[in-house]
Amino acid sequence: MSISPIDYRYGREAVKSIFSEESKLRHMLKVEKILAQAEAEQNLIPREAYEDIARAVDSNAVTLERVKQIESEINHDVMAMVKALTEKCQAGSRFVHYGVTSNDIIDTATALQIREFYHFLTEDMIRLQDALEALVRRHRSSVMLGRTHGQHASPITFGLKMAVYLSEVNRHAERIMQAKPRIAAGKIMGPVGTGAALGDAALEVQDRVMEVLGLSAETASSQIVNRDRYVEFLSVMNGIVTSLEKFATEIRNLQRPEIGEVSEYFDAEKQVGSSSMPSKVNPINSENVCSLSRLVRSFIIPEYEGAVTWHERDLTNSAAERFIVPYVCILTDHVLVKMSDILEKLIVYPDRMLKNLLADDFVLSERIVIELTNSGIPRQDAHEIVRKAAMIAHSSGGSLLQALRDEGYMDRLPDAVRRTLSDPASFTGSAGRICDRIVQETEFARKLLMGGGT
């Protein structure tokens, strides 16, 4: 019986499999194997013991079913794995789990899972970059209304809007890769962080285990890897999904019929928008991104609280983290993939953008202030002239330009300026150059992701 929507509705199977019971067991056994290797190299256990443990792990002789059977008897998940592995060993049976504690294995295995997730995360980010970059290039000069406070503002381009989003994604790419060595960290220092059971070779054993596994070694630990690392990981994920919600919210707003400048793809042949109103074309995918992004962000709260433990540790973080790390990874991947799909199929209406832009002339107010200033009127006086004219036009339902003509101020502007006022593309400033810069910047961010995703 499935209860969680993660099981049957959300998330890709390839990502969910990273956090399955089978995968967790496989990662923990791998840690036990590499631990034995490092201990043999330091002459803490016989070489044949390591080889025997490695053979038992590599042969997949330890089954999840047997581990669960033992756990049902002893009520300890890690010790159940240790006992099941010991059963499959001969020369190594005396030395399975030698000198370590449960969270040496659990936290290091979790770091391996996060590192495996990074492969999908970096692929997702590159796909998102590609989708946004295509829109930046395609709509570099597609003029549209800027909007501030939900009101019409000076003109921008749709390419610039997408470039703003792409620049945000590029910074997330840097954060992802900069944080990776801090996030993917394990430990092999026993129940209080001293490594006493491994003697003078403890640090060498820990460093060697992490070297072989491709992880960072915790620099100073209690019984667990310090949870500031998990908090940082969740913070990076939260930054990503917050951006995705921002992008999705903009699409939802621009798809409103009274705006109608973009639309999610809608399968007109088969898709149903509403069970009651068959005419509906709803931005359901963008809404889904918003909803799940909020859920992802919520998981950082129990992790913040779980990072506060008594003395060298307690179990207050343990149960919550069985949900937190898997759910954050699975759902972040889910919304990243969905957002990329939305952007790749996004329908953009440049003609509607231009129509909305030309619907009134209040969007010219910033430019007119500048042009009146250039004509010799002090800037603050020019601002007040345009403000008063705008208030007159608002109250009468008229035109800003007409109100300025009535006061004789349009005559102050050069003929060349008056002729170009009807062309909003003439007041988009450096929008095109910004688009070009962000496209160039994206190449660096993409290479950064491509070079460190495994």
Q: What is the pLDDT of residues 377-404, one digit of tens each?
A: 999 999 999 999 999 999 999 999 999 9
pLDDT of residue 416: 87
Contacts of 235 (CB under 8 A, 6+ apart): 300
pLDDT of residue 60: 96
Among the listed residues 149, 275, 276, 279, the single catalytic one is: 149
pLDDT of residue 69: 98
pLDDT of residue 452: 64
pLDDT of residue 277: 87
pLDDT of residue 418: 87
pLDDT of residue 313: 93
Q: Which residue in 331, 183, 186, 314 sits closest to 244, CA to CA?
A: 331
- On average, the pLDDT of the chain sits at 95
> Is the pLDDT reported for residue 453 higher than 70?
no
- The mean per-residue pLDDT over the stretch 360-385 comes to 94
Q: Please tell me the distance from the alpha carbon of residue 184 to that of residue 354, in angstroms, as a whole number.
A: 49
pLDDT of residue 314: 93
Q: Can 149 be counted among the known catalytic residues?
A: yes
Round to the nearest angstrom and report the end-to-end CA distance of the chain. Answer: 34
The CATH-assigned architecture of domain 359-421 is: Orthogonal Bundle (1.10)
Q: What is the CATH T-level fold of the domain 114-193+213-356+437-451, as seen in this structure?
A: Fumarase C; Chain A, domain 2 (1.20.200)
pLDDT of residue 59: 97
Least confident of 22-26, 279-283, 322-326, 376-380: 279-283
Is beta strand 151-157 parallel, antiparallel or unpaired with respect to 143-148? antiparallel
- The mean per-residue pLDDT over the stretch 246-257 comes to 97
Q: Which residue has the higher pLDDT, 267 or 158?
A: 158
Q: Can 216 be counted among the known catalytic residues?
A: no
Among the listed residues 4, 17, 20, 274, the single catalytic one is: 274
pLDDT of residue 1: 83
- The mean per-residue pLDDT over the stretch 317-331 comes to 96
Domain positions in the chain are 11-87, 114-193+213-356+437-451, 359-421
- Taking only the tens place, the pLDDT of each residue in 73-88 is 999 999 999 999 999 9
With bands split at pLDDT 50, 70 and 90, how would you rate the model's confidence at 451? confident
- Taking only the tens place, the pLDDT of each residue in 152-200 is 999 999 999 999 999 999 999 999 999 999 999 999 999 999 999 999 9
- Check if CATH label 1.10.275.10 holds for domain 11-87: yes
